[in-house]
Amino acid sequence: MERLGCKKIKDGLLANLKERTQEFINKGNKAPSLAVVLVGDDGASQSYVATKCKMASLLGFVHFDYRFDEDLKEEELLSLIDKLNLDDDVDGILVQLPLPKHIDADKIINRIAKEKDVDGFSPYNLGRLMLGQECFEPCTPKGIMEIFKYYDIPLSGKNVTVIGRSNIVGKPISVMCMQKGVDATVTVCNTKTSDLKAHTLASDIIIVAAGRPGILDSSVVKDGAVVIDVGVNRVADPSSEKGYKVVGDVDYDSFLTTECKVTPVPGGVGLMTVVMLMENTLMAAMRRRG
Ligand code: GUN
Please tell me the residue having the least CA distance from ligand 1 atom 3: 97
Rg (CA), the chain: 19
Indicate if ligand 1 lies below 6 Å from the C-beta of 37: no
Q: Is residue 290 predicted with pLDDT exceeding 90?
A: no
Please tell me the residue having the least CA distance from ligand 1 atom 4: 97
Q: Ligand 1 center to residue 266 CA distance, Å?
A: 17
Return the closest-CA partner of residue 77 out of 90, 68, 86, 64: 68
Return the closest-CA partner of residue 139 out of 152, 126, 153, 123: 126
The model's pLDDT over 252-275, given as tens digits with 9 standing for 90+, comes to 999 999 999 999 999 999 999 999
| Active-site hit among 119, 204, 229, 249 | 119
The model's pLDDT over 90-142, given as tens digits with 9 standing for 90+, comes to 999 999 999 999 999 999 999 999 999 999 999 999 999 999 999 999 999 99
Percentage of residues in the chain having pLDDT higher than 90:
99
pLDDT at position 162 is: 99
52 is an active site residue: yes
- Rounded to the nearest angstrom, the gap between the alpha carbon of residue 202 and the centroid of all alpha carbons in its chain is 26
Q: Ligand 1 center to residue 259 CA distance, Å?
A: 32
Q: Ligand 1 center to residue 94 CA distance, Å?
A: 8
What mean pLDDT is reported for the chain? Answer: 97
Q: Enumerate the β-bridge partners of residue 262.
A: 3, 227
Q: Ligand 1 center to residue 166 CA distance, Å?
A: 11
The model's pLDDT over 18-72, given as tens digits with 9 standing for 90+, comes to 999 999 999 999 999 999 999 999 999 999 999 999 999 999 999 999 999 999 9
d(CA 18, CA 2): 30
Indicate if ligand 1 lies below 6 Å from the C-beta of 280: no
Contact (Cβ atoms closer than 8 angstroms) between residue 209 and residue 263: no
Please tell me the residue having the least CA distance from ligand 1 atom 2: 97
pLDDT at position 161 is: 99
Question: What is the average pLDDT across 228-238?
Answer: 96
Indicate if ligand 1 lies below 6 Å from the C-beta of 122: no
The model's pLDDT over 158-217, given as tens digits with 9 standing for 90+, comes to 999 999 999 999 999 999 999 999 999 999 999 999 999 999 999 999 999 999 999 999
Backbone CA torsion sign across 276, 280, 283, 289: negative
pLDDT at position 289 is: 86
Q: Ligand 1 center to residue 7 CA distance, Å?
A: 20
Indicate if ligand 1 lies below 6 Å from the C-beta of 109: no
